[in-house]
Structure 1
Amino acid sequence: MTRISALTPATAQGAAKDMLSELVARHGQVGSMVSTMAHSPAVLGGYLQLSKAMKRAKLSRRISEVISIAVQARQGCQLCLDAHIAAARTFGVTDAEIAAACEGTSPDPAISAMITLGLAIYSTPTTITNDQVAKLRAFGYTDREIVDAVGIVALNVLTGAFNLVAGLEPDPPRPDPPRALSGSDSS
């Protein structure tokens, strides 16, 4: 159940109105998370800046998405989890890899190591060791990619926590449209 209502350019005021008006003008519409975040221009602005910055991450989108899936499976934001699963599929992540990410692992040891780092960043960053970072480097990850994982997790914490506090949930599945009867289907 939604706890915080979404704003529109017509219902928002001040900086929120300006931000939403600009986003709607650029994109045609905004999602429920963004329109609800507009209650705090600081939160919306921070989200937009971090989201834009993480699009320049060196860490591959496939790996970013499986880290996001692992984090959201722990955090419990179904809206985010569904979005990251859909995005992962567009990058060729298989259902088996998605299921493994939900469990906090991967069939690929290098990706599993990065998921493990992401989950440690999320839940217990004090447990990250020099050996763990050395192992990531041995798999070929650069310092930039390791640091990008921090940004990916931070973005997931922000969006997932926001959606959970606001009570935003996935839209219910739409029923399949009725099939038109062809001449051979009618009696």
Structure 2
Amino acid sequence: MPRLTPLTPDTAVGASRDLLADLVSRHGHVGAMVSTMAHSPAVLGGYLQLSRAMGRAKLDRGISERISIAVQTVQGCGLCLDAHVGAARALGIDEAEIERARTGTSADPAIAAVVALGLQVHREPASITDDQIAALRAHGYSDRAIADVVGVVALNVLTGAFNLLAGLTPGSDTGA
């Protein structure tokens, strides 16, 4: 059961009303997470900016989804996990690879290395070593792609933590 009430352009105030009205006018509706984030214009605005920025990430979308699946499995946000598993399937990632992502790995050693980095950024970023970064470069990852891992993890921490705090679960994202 949601702990926070989703808002609409009619019930939101100030900057949140403007952000929601713009989103609804462009997309027809917004999901429960976005409409509930509208309680804080800072959180909603920050989420929208980071989400747009990560849309320009250099990291392959399939890899980003695998990192997201790994992080959300650890974080425990069912709503986010369902969304990222659905996105991975839409990209053609098979069920075995999705299961590997849930455990923080991949059949492909290069993908396994970057997914592991994502989990490490989430759990213990101070333990990342120069050798790990060198190994990622040897797998063909650019510095930009490696840096993008932090953005993917940050976006997942924000959305997952928000959904858990707000009590949003699969089935509660009915749109506003």
- Do they superpose with TM above 0.5? yes
Within 5 A, what are the aligned runs for 1:58-137?
Answer: 58-137=58-137
1:19-39 alpha-carbon deviations (Å, 9 max, x no partner): 111111111000000000000
Q: Distance in 2 between matches of 1:134 and 1:14?
A: 47
Give me the CA root mean square deviation: 0.8
For residue 14 of structure 1, report the CA deviation from its aligned partner.
1.2
Describe the superposition over 1:63-112 as per-residue Cα deviations: whole angstroms up to 9, x where unpaired.
00000000000000000000000001111111000000101111110000
TM-score relative to the length of structure 2: 0.96
Alpha-carbon separation, structure 2, partners of 1:43 and 1:123: 22
Greater helix proportion: 2
CA distance in 2, matches of 1:166, 1:64: 25
The C-alpha deviation readout for 1:130-181, integer Å capped at 9, x for no partner, is 0000000000000000000000000000000000000001118xxxxxxxxx
Identity of aligned residues (%): 66
Count of aligned positions: 172
Larger radius of gyration: 1
1:1-187 mapped onto 2 (5 Å cutoff): 1-171=1-171
Deviation at 1:5, TM superposition (A): 0.5
Larger RCO: Structure 1 or Structure 2 (Cα < 8 Å, ≥ 6 residues apart)?
2
Unmatched 5+ residue regions in structure 1? 173-187
